[in-house]
Structure 1
Amino acid sequence: MIDRHRPIVGPQYLVAGRYRLQSKLGGGGMGAVWLAHDRLLDREVAIKQVLTTAGLPEAEAEKVRGQILHEGRVAAKLSHDHAIAVYDVALEAGEPWLVMEHLPSRSVARALGMVETLPVVEVAQIGAQVADALAAAHSVGIVHRDIKPGNILVADRGPSVGIAKLSDFGISRGAGDLTEEPEGIITGTPAYLPPEVARGAQPTEASDVFSLGATLYTAIEGQPPFGLDEDSDVLVERAAMAQIIPPTRSGVLTNALLHMLEPAPQRRPTMAEARDEILTAAFGPGTDSYILGAPVRTEDGTIPSWAARSSASGLRSPHAMPLPRPQHQAPVRAAGNAAPVGQRAQGNPPSNAPLAIAVGLLIGLVILIAILVAVM
């Protein structure tokens, strides 16, 4: 049934007498997201429209309205450099709209559509930044519950270019919330579900750790840890059985990722521990000040091409210097790669070099004495 009294929402529509819609930025599980102008504070914002409740029974419509109000209350508890800020929950025609920070950006999901996989060193920066935001969320009792590439944004222009931020706390929940999920409902995106959630358990902070690990795995490997399948039920089944495909591209992040992807939630690190493990593995200990709050950048300090519009691509980060790298011990060479007997690798001085120099000096001294004796 069409509600003829409901106004048609589109460009130039004014929400709550304050937010003038400009263009649609995208859609999500709860509805469309618009770019809007805040006439009171003279700034651009992103504003999320609730899915229309027209034709729904009043009890169900009220539940939808309550969910978006809940999203605003939960997200407003969090203020962090790497999380999208929530400014307001506005009511328009009896429906709530969530007003958020507008970050001109592309998601990690969109970046993967452009380049298929991201370099480990860049994924490590994204992972540490998002983990830092989630550690802050967990500290105030917020569980995100739907971490995935589409919910991680990287600013692609403007003064924040290269900064990664976590978005969409639409199904997040505070630790004190008592509302129960309907029986049999699984919350989250199948490709990134922790095994315990796929088996019907309620999401926890440990579930967020797994989902972030699965997201970073996807950015590096080019597919989720359970593989790809159009049938979401197949992915849920794989998740429930923890059928993780061993990573092959993750390099220095392998151990940190596998720790985050532990099937048993109690064996996973906390989010703060996961952040520190990522930083230490990729950049060395004590490097958080170089990575957190800074743009994602390549090893030489430039903004990656996937993370910026063409005008900003390749620019040197305003924060930057080349990325720090851990001082790993040189790997032991395999026997098949050892230098042949009687040869040595170039650039390595022989181990008896000091002795040879001393012998040479002694011989030279003897010759000099012999010359002086002959002259006398």
Structure 2
Amino acid sequence: MTEQHHGGRIVGPDYLLAGRYRLDSKLGGGGMGSVWLANDTLLHRKVAVKQVTTTVNMDEAQAREIRRRATREGRMAARLDNPHAIAMHDVALDGGEPWLVMEYLPSRSLAKALGSVGRIPPSEVIQIGARVADALAEAHTAGIVHRDIKPGNILIADRGAALGMVKISDFGISRATGEKDDDDSDVITGTPAYFAPEVARGADPDEASDVFSLGATLYTATEGQPPFGTAADTRELLHRVALGEIQPPRRSGAMTAILLRMLEPDPKRRPTMGQARDELIALQSDGRTRASLNSPLRAADGAVPYWARRGSTSGSTERSGQRPSGTAPFATGPADTRRLPRTSYAPPPFEPAKRKPTLLTQPYLSMAIAALAILILIVVLLILL
């Protein structure tokens, strides 16, 4: 359903929010509510508006907490002014309830991309990591801890003028450094597969745990699964995370050293987010500086990676994150549902292993026969004499 009740009103397409934002279509949902595409009738631009979970049928204390959290998210996100963080435009009140009005980026999440290609080449993951780390380093400088860094919260523009741009989103459970959390202290917020070990053991998330979560996200992008694997049982997964024993990366290439430092079990031994960003920038093959981070992702051929384009689909050769040599990038139209062709492989002709010569093989066999004949001849001559 695209319509639902909100504070006694039916909210759906064409609904005018706060007298300014006209809803278009639902983009998705999250832990705190749904996200809609809307038109800003004042500035004539598309925006994303996040609908806070309805407070209908809640007691006043619960409703007040929901509103407080939404306002906090808007306030924190508004502190950031980084090209790799989704911008917060407004906190709109409608019927006494807050809606977050954010930059709209036509995009897919890194999680969705990985669902199609399985994993991504390290050279492209390095670029993603450098851009996200740049935004998070600025957040940490501003005293903001994200607390939920994962592939689902990293967006890559998949069409339009912004094609290939990378942005971190959803500061919905972020918290200012040192800010008291009124939540139940026994509840861990975030996504367990990307937790830092100390968070799984009950410590409060901080800048160092953000570094670990970003490392876990980059690991997942290159390896195809999180560093602690997967488990249907959340408790089992949390136990693995708490032990801090990751599965060693096998496909991370030049990124391996910085990745392992970001995934250090001891938070004191991890780099800061700024240091991680600088090391990731240094690994970029073309030597781009921080000033040039505000640019689209590039594959080895200089184009935006095929998996980041709207209309790309999964296929057998995509599982490695590489497009086969000689194939064209996917078209960006939604009707393009082709699969990439399989690459052919022919084994070399069979060649029997060569044996080392022995006394039973030529020319040693002929020599042995000749020597035996001479010995027999000598014996015969001696007898005759």
CA deviations over 1:130-182 (Å, ceiling 9, x no partner): 00000011111011000000000000111111000000000011124233442
SS where residue 66 of structure 1 aligns? helix
> Residue in 2 aligned with 1:297?
298
- How many angstroms does 1:262 deviate by? 0.3
Q: Aligned pair in 2 of structure 1 residues 70, 290: CA closer, same or farther (>3 Å)?
A: closer
Moved more, 288-297 or 33-42: 288-297
Cα contact 1:78–1:85 (8 A) shared by 2: yes
Of the candidates 70, 89, 112, which is equivalent to residue 87 of structure 1?
89
> Residue in 1 aligned with 2:228?
226
CA deviations over 1:159-209 (Å, ceiling 9, x no partner): 111000000000011124233442211121000000111111111110100
RMSD: 1.9
- Report the number of matched residues: 312
Cα contact 1:129–1:291 (8 A) shared by 2: no
Q: Aligned pair in 2 of structure 1 residues 3, 154: CA closer, same or farther (>3 Å)?
A: closer
| Aligned-partner residue type, residue 166 of structure 1 | I
Of the candidates 174, 196, 206, which is equivalent to residue 194 of structure 1?
196
> Residue in 1 aligned with 2:162?
160
- How many angstroms does 1:291 deviate by? 5.3
1:264 matched to 2:266? The reply is yes
| Aligned-partner residue type, residue 249 of structure 2 | P
Counterpart Cα distance in 2 of 1:144 and 1:161: 25
Q: Between the two proteins, what is the percent identity of the paired residues?
A: 61
> Residue in 1 aligned with 2:117?
115
> Residue in 1 aligned with 2:50?
48
| Aligned-partner residue type, residue 302 of structure 2 | G
Counterpart Cα distance in 1 of 2:245 and 2:110: 24
> Residue in 2 aligned with 1:239?
241
Cα contact 1:256–1:281 (8 A) shared by 2: no
| Aligned-partner residue type, residue 174 of structure 2 | S
- How many angstroms does 1:79 deviate by? 0.7
- How many angstroms does 1:279 deviate by? 2.1
Cα contact 2:13–2:23 (8 A) shared by 1: yes
CA deviations over 1:312-334 (Å, ceiling 9, x no partner): x849xxxxxxxxxxxxxxxxxxx
1:287 matched to 2:313? The reply is no
Q: Aligned pair in 2 of structure 1 residues 264, 289: CA closer, same or farther (>3 Å)?
A: closer
> Residue in 2 aligned with 1:360?
none
> Residue in 2 aligned with 1:322?
none
Counterpart Cα distance in 1 of 2:109 and 2:7: 36
| Aligned-partner residue type, residue 209 of structure 2 | S
Counterpart Cα distance in 1 of 2:7 and 2:65: 21
Counterpart Cα distance in 2 of 1:201 and 1:185: 11
Cα contact 1:122–1:297 (8 A) shared by 2: yes
| Aligned-partner residue type, residue 252 of structure 1 | A
Cα contact 1:260–1:268 (8 A) shared by 2: yes
> Residue in 2 aligned with 1:143?
145
Give 1:1-376 correspondences, 5 Å limit: 6-283=8-285, 287-289=288-290, 292-310=293-311, 314=329
- How many angstroms does 1:210 deviate by? 0.3
- How many angstroms does 1:233 deviate by? 1.6
Cα contact 1:220–1:249 (8 A) shared by 2: yes
Moved more, 94-103 or 273-282: 273-282
Larger radius of gyration: 2
Cα contact 1:21–1:36 (8 A) shared by 2: yes
Cα contact 1:86–1:101 (8 A) shared by 2: yes
CA deviations over 1:32-86 (Å, ceiling 9, x no partner): 0000000010100000001111122211111011101000000000010100000
Counterpart Cα distance in 2 of 1:75 and 1:3: 27
| Aligned-partner residue type, residue 299 of structure 1 | A
Q: Aligned pair in 2 of structure 1 residues 267, 5: CA closer, same or farther (>3 Å)?
A: closer
Counterpart Cα distance in 1 of 2:196 and 2:182: 19
| Aligned-partner residue type, residue 267 of structure 2 | P
Cα contact 1:252–1:282 (8 A) shared by 2: no
Cα contact 1:303–1:314 (8 A) shared by 2: no
SS where residue 229 of structure 2 aligns? coil
Runs of 4+ residues over 3 Å off in structure 1: 2-5
- How many angstroms does 1:127 deviate by? 0.2
Cα contact 1:36–1:47 (8 A) shared by 2: yes
TM-score, structure 2 as length reference: 0.78
| Aligned-partner residue type, residue 213 of structure 2 | S
Counterpart Cα distance in 2 of 1:83 and 1:5: 31
- How many angstroms does 1:277 deviate by? 1.5
Counterpart Cα distance in 2 of 1:237 and 1:65: 34
| Aligned-partner residue type, residue 233 of structure 2 | D
Unaligned runs of 5+ in 2: 313-327, 331-385
| Aligned-partner residue type, residue 117 of structure 1 | R
Cα contact 2:149–2:217 (8 A) shared by 1: yes
SS where residue 228 of structure 1 aligns? coil
| Aligned-partner residue type, residue 15 of structure 1 | L
- How many angstroms does 1:267 deviate by? 0.3
- How many angstroms does 1:237 deviate by? 1.2
CA deviations over 1:89-117 (Å, ceiling 9, x no partner): 00111110000000000000000011010
Cα contact 2:7–2:55 (8 A) shared by 1: no
- How many angstroms does 1:280 deviate by? 2.1
